Amino acid sequence: MVPLERAILNTLVWFDLWHQPLTAFECWYFLWNEDGLVADSIPSEVSSALISLENKKLVKINRNFWQLADSPSYTEERLARARWSIGKRQRAERVAKLIMKLPFVRLVALANTNASEGAKRDSDIDLLIIVKAGRIFLSRLLITILVQLLGWRRHGLKVANRICLSFYLADNELNIKSLAYPDDPYLIYWLASLQPLADFGTFNNLLADNAWAQNFIPHRYLVFKAANTQTVANSKLIWPEQALVGRLGDVLEYGARRLQLFLISRHKDSRLGDGSSAVVVSNNILKFHESDQRPQLAKNFRERQQQILAKYI
């Protein structure tokens, strides 16, 4: 079995779960290097391997998009999602600039399917937000108030095109490997798909601290490291950070923490303490994903992977 062809099939299997065909360059960009044998491959080699797989009737192409041969054509769906993603990204960029004006915010990044142009028409807009250590609860409170006042925050039944504020990291704990399940391709691809919208130089630190994930999708990180992320002026909307660094900030952080822990404890759907990493509440990580499908997605990925590789053999 040719390692590059196997890696391409594995990559297409993952994106097939999302009904998302890929261009030849995206196959290289997102190449799943779990076996550690294809990190040095180049785009032209991937293009040649795709043609070889097409001749073996394992993959097919439609309008320059490649996918598994035994799946229905997802090309039109992919193109529609790309169109829907334009407006979602524009809204994300606007809100990111405003969030970055608040004290202690270090990075706002587009996450999940929106980051890879795979969002549905009625999906929300997921953001990862990184803040200064010691101010995660105060930052979350200020950000929530701001986005709520804009009328853009996801809550209740208001989901479509709303901003989902469900993942915060403190800048002293950027390695999220502790959140990974034993088999967790979703988290690895989640990390790899992040798109920085506004950054104070934190994104490169995030990549460096999560080097464990780079081994699985090396080409994505090569492109990230070669690109310059957007940096915004360190101006603040209400107070300069310095006014909230000392005792006043400590008091406000304490109050924000008490308030939010109380509200979290009363949430009827909270999975806090159930043994998973779906919901995490600490002084360095705030993560709220009550509907955590990662274990099931990993199971679906492995089953489909074996099915396709059995045809290859």
Q: Which residues of 68-106 are buried (b: 16+ CB within 10 A; e: fewer)?
A: bbebeebbebbeebeebbeebbebbeebbebbbbbbbbb
Residue 37 domain flag: yes
Residue that is last in its domain, among 40, 73, 106: 73
3-state DSSP percent of the chain in helix, strand and coil, to 5? 50, 15, 35
Residue 312 domain flag: no
231 and 131, same domain (yes or no): yes
Residue 73 CB partners (closer than 8 Å, separation 6+): 21, 60, 62, 67
Q: What is the DSSP letter of 58?
A: S
Letter for the amino acid at 82? A
106 and 245, same domain (yes or no): yes
106 and 145, same domain (yes or no): yes
> What is the rounded CA–CA span in Å between residue 164 and residue 152?
9
In the structure, how many helices (H) and strands (E) does the chain have? 11, 8
218 and 145, same domain (yes or no): yes
Task: Provide the pLDDT for residue 236.
Answer: 54
68 and 144, same domain (yes or no): no
127 and 255, same domain (yes or no): yes
Residue 303 domain flag: no
100 and 207, same domain (yes or no): yes
What's the predicted TM-score (pTM) here? 0.91
Q: What is the mean pLDDT of the chain?
A: 90
23 and 108, same domain (yes or no): no
> What is the rounded CA–CA span in Å between residue 214 and residue 116?
17
Residue 50 domain flag: yes
Letter for the amino acid at 37? L
Confidence of residue 311 (pLDDT cuts 50, 70, 90): confident
> What is the rounded CA–CA span in Å between residue 32 and residue 190?
13
Q: Give me the mean pLDDT over the 237-253 stretch.
A: 82
Task: Provide the pLDDT for residue 274.
Answer: 63
Residue that is last in its domain, among 27, 45, 73: 73
201 and 140, same domain (yes or no): yes
Task: Provide the pLDDT for residue 270.
Answer: 61
Residues 192, 217: contact at Cβ < 8 Å?
Answer: yes
Task: Provide the pLDDT for residue 226.
Answer: 58
For the chain, give the percent of residues with pLDDT over 70: 91
Q: What is the extent of the structural domain holding 10?
A: 3-73
- For the chain, the distance separating the N- and C-terminal CA atoms, rounded to the nearest angstrom, is 7
Chain CA centroid to CA 81, Å: 17
Task: Provide the pLDDT for residue 249.
Answer: 93
Task: Provide the pLDDT for residue 273.
Answer: 61
65-79, 228-242, 298-312: lowest mean pLDDT where?
228-242
Residue 308 domain flag: no
Residues in the chain: 313
Task: Provide the pLDDT for residue 158.
Answer: 87
User: For residue 9, which of 46, 64, 62 has the smallest C-alpha distance?
Assistant: 46
Residue 55 CB partners (closer than 8 Å, separation 6+): none
Residue 282 CB partners (closer than 8 Å, separation 6+): none
Task: Provide the pLDDT for residue 228.
Answer: 53
Residue 301 domain flag: no
Identify the CATH number of the domain in which residue 52 sits. 1.10.10.10
Confidence of residue 172 (pLDDT cuts 50, 70, 90): very high
**Residue 234 predicted with pLDDT over 80:** no
pLDDT tens column, 101-157: 999 999 999 998 888 888 888 999 999 999 999 999 999 999 999 999 999 998 888
pLDDT tens column, 186-215: 999 999 999 999 998 899 999 999 999 999
For the chain, what is the domain count?
A: 2
Task: Provide the pLDDT for residue 265.
Answer: 80
Q: What is the DSSP letter of 87?
A: H
Taking residue 202's Cβ as centre, other Cβ atoms within 10 Å add up to 21
46 and 192, same domain (yes or no): no
Query: C-alpha distances in angstroms, 301 versus 11, 185, 193, 214, 311?
Result: 10, 8, 18, 19, 16
> What values do phi and psi take at 44, rounded to 5?
-65, -35
66 and 195, same domain (yes or no): no
288 and 142, same domain (yes or no): yes
Residue 11 domain flag: yes
